[in-house]
Structure formats: C-alpha cells, structure tokens
C-alpha cells in the first residue's frame, strides 16, 4: 500500500510506492557503464587541453598547467554561466531575462582517470573536500554571486559527460528555488519553534535509529524520512552550521571519511550506480543563519524522473528509506582497491 510522506522542511510530498518495493538487486540492470578509453582532457599530462587552472593543489616547484597536481580546478569549457555580459534578447515587462553572470568551474578530483571516491586514500578524499571549501569560499565572495552550488555527477545517467572523476561548482546571481524553498521552510520552523529544523531532524534520527546509515563524532549519514530517490542519503554536521565555509579542518576530515564510507557502501550494495552528490548550503553571505544547516545529499539515480515527476513535482520512490538504511548499514564499507600509487604520491607531497 503506497504512502505519501511529507518532507518536513519544504512540505513537499513524495510517494513511497511500496507496491513497487525494490531491493538492491532489483536495480542491478541500472549500474553505470564501465569506463572506456579514448582521450581525456582531465588526465594528468593533458593540462594544456583545458582552460588555464584557477587553482591546483600541486607539488612545490611545479608550474601551473603542468603535471604535479593532485586536485585541479579549471573553468568549464561549456559554462552554464559566465563572467561576460549577456547579449540583448527579447525582454519586456512580461518576459524577463537576466544576464547569465556567474561562474562554472570543474574540480578535477585526481590526475588518475580510473580513480573513484571509493578507492582514493582517505588523505586524497580530504584533499578533494578541502578544494571544495577553498573554491566555495572564493566564489562566495565574487561580486553579484548569491549562491554557490557544488555537485558531483557520477555516471552518464546522472549527467556526467566525462568519465574522469570531477565535481563542479556553479555560482549563480540568484538564490536557486530549491534552496529558497528550504530557507523559507526552515525560517518558518525557526519562528514557530525557536530551533533549527535540521538540528531537530538530527536529534529525531539519532533517537529513531531506523534511518541511520553511519555516523562519526562530527557527522551523521541517514536516509531522510521523505526520500525522493531509492537509497538517498544525507550527510549532515552535528554542530549547527548554516554555511559550508564554516566547517573547520578537523570537521572536514571527519566529513571526508564519512562521505567515503557512504560512497563505498552505496557502490558495494548497488554495484557502482550512477549518482549525484549535491551540497546544500546557506546563500553567500548568510553562513551565520540560525535556521539553515548545510548538508550533502547523495542521490543514487536508479529510478527515472518521468512524466509524472516532471508534471506533478512529486517523486515516486519504490524503496522505503527504512529499508534502504538497513541495507546500507549492513553493507561493509570497503575500498575497491588499495590504490598504492596514490598513497605514495600523497605521502611525499608538500603541504599545500
């Protein structure tokens, strides 16, 4: 019997379609394609094939846009938003436009084409998220920027057009509607209860336990009550922090460990599914908000956003989050390989 569940922050409903109830093995056919060959502009040695880097963590003494880096950030060659002025287009008092001002960067997570979040050394995963934070801070301060979205598309079904492991940052001149809805819901809750709704969710999930996936001293991983996607998992800091720029070094290391653990569980359970990982943070300049709370959402893409979901805005999820969390809890987190060369590389590098 299907059930409608309401997401407590935005008040959006989802359908938990238990008639279609799905176990992990039912999704096996959806696993992402294996990695192929061919030229890759993100691989170490091909630095000249991307736009010049805006930042890199690289060995001391190596020059920009040459090998020697382990995490590298470049402008997107096909940006969704740019720093240039917009052309004139039809605009009047009815149809409104805005220049597509902003930034769109690619964060190349490793020089190694076949590396993954799961098989990196923990130290390397740290480096990726330190780079997230560095670029988050830099872009948040850029003129005209209202929001910085960081996300990772893994697998072509999840929107990755290049296989090489990378994240993306899009800095927008407006607060995106998804974040705006979260802000409104969180503000309403704060006004009524004097408390951050995300802090409330953390307490409730710790107490209930049924939707917990993993946790450590600083972070919690759980499948949200009104999960829109099968095996959807949120990773959230236990301490109240509205903006991602507030996370300190120790906490970021702690987060990296938990993200890798969850990624290993998801990939082990579902055989390396396509997924999106998305940072939700307070708008630029509002990191001190008392009611918002940054978090990461991991969304395995095992179902399809089809006519009903697009037309109604209601997601249909065939896997109740309590089942998803149980499967994920019971799955061992393990690396696909030891990835020794990377360990060695990181062992002798200079501190950036």
Cite the active site residues: 166
Beta-carbon contacts of residue 46 (< 8 Å; ≥ 6 apart): 39, 40
By beta-carbon proximity to a second copy, the closer residue of 290 and 308 is: 308
Q: How far is the CB of 301 from a second copy (least distance, A)?
A: 9
Phi, psi of 331 (to 5 degrees): -80, 130
Structure tokens at 245: 């720029």
Give the H/E segment covering residue 136. Answer: helix 122-140
Written as six digits, the tokens of 150 are 């960081």
Give the Å distances, CA to CA, from 312 to 14, 21, 215, 305.
Answer: 10, 21, 34, 11
d(CA 134, CA 138): 6
Q: Which one, of 20, 16, 21, 26, lies nearest residue 271 by Cα?
A: 26
- CB-wise, 68 or 224, nearer to a second copy? 224
16 CB neighbour count, 10 Å cutoff = 25
Q: Kindly tell me which of 118 and 297 has the beta carbon lying closer to a second copy.
A: 297
* 87 Cβ contact list (under 8 Å, min separation 6): none
Element (H, E) at 124: helix 122-140
Residue among 59 and 180 whose Cβ is closer to a second copy:
180
What is the smallest separation between the CB atom of 280 and a second copy, expressed in angstroms?
Answer: 7
Closest CB to a second copy among residues 253, 298: 298
Minimum gap (Å) between residue 316 Cβ and a second copy: 5
Could you tell me the smallest distance in angstroms from the CB atom of residue 206 to a second copy? 14
CB of 304 to a second copy, least distance (A): 4
Compute the distance between CA of residue 202 and CA of residue 238 in angstroms, rounded to an integer: 7
């Amino acid at each position: 019997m299907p059930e409608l569940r309401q997401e407590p922050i935005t008040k959006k409903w989802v359908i938990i379609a238990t008639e279609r109830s799905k176990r992990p093995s039912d999704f096996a056919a959806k696993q992402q394609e294996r990695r192929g060959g061919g030229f890759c502009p993100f691989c170490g040695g091909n630095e000249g094939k991307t736009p010049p880097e805006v930042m890199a963590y690289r060995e001391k003494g190596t020059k920009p846009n040459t090998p020697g880096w382990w995490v590298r950030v470049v402008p997107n060659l096909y940006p969704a938003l740019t720093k240039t002025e917009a052309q004139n287009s039809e605009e009047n008092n009815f149809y409104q436009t805005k220049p597509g001002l902003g930034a769109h960067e690619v964060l190349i997570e490793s020089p190694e084409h076949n590396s993954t979040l799961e098989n990196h050394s923990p130290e390397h995963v740290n480096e990726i998220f330190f780079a997230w934070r560095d670029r988050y801070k830099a872009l948040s301060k850029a003129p005209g920027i209202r929001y910085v979205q960081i996300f990772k598309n893994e697998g072509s079904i999840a929107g990755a057009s290049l296989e090489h492991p990378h994240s993306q940052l899009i800095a927008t001149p407006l607060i995106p509607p998804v974040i705006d809805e979260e802000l409104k819901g969180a503000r309403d809750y704060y006004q009524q209860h004097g408390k951050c709704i995300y802090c409330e969710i953390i307490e409730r999930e710790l107490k209930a336990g049924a939707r917990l996936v993993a946790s450590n001293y600083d972070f919690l991983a759980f499948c949200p009550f009104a999960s829109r996607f099968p095996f959807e998992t949120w990773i959230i800091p236990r301490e109240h922090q509205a903006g991602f720029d507030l996370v300190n070094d120790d906490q970021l290391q702690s987060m990296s460990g938990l993200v890798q653990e969850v990624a290993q569980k998801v990939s082990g359970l579902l055989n390396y599914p396509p997924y999106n990982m998305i940072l939700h943070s307070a708008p630029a300049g509002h990191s001190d908000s008392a009611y918002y709370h940054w978090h990461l959402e991991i969304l395995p893409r095992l179902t399809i956003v089809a006519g009903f979901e697009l037309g109604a805005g209601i997601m249909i999820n065939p896997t109740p989050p309590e089942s998803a969390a149980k499967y994920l809890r019971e799955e061992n987190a393990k690396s696909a390989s030891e990835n020794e060369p990377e360990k060695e590389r990181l062992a002798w590098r200079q501190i950036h």
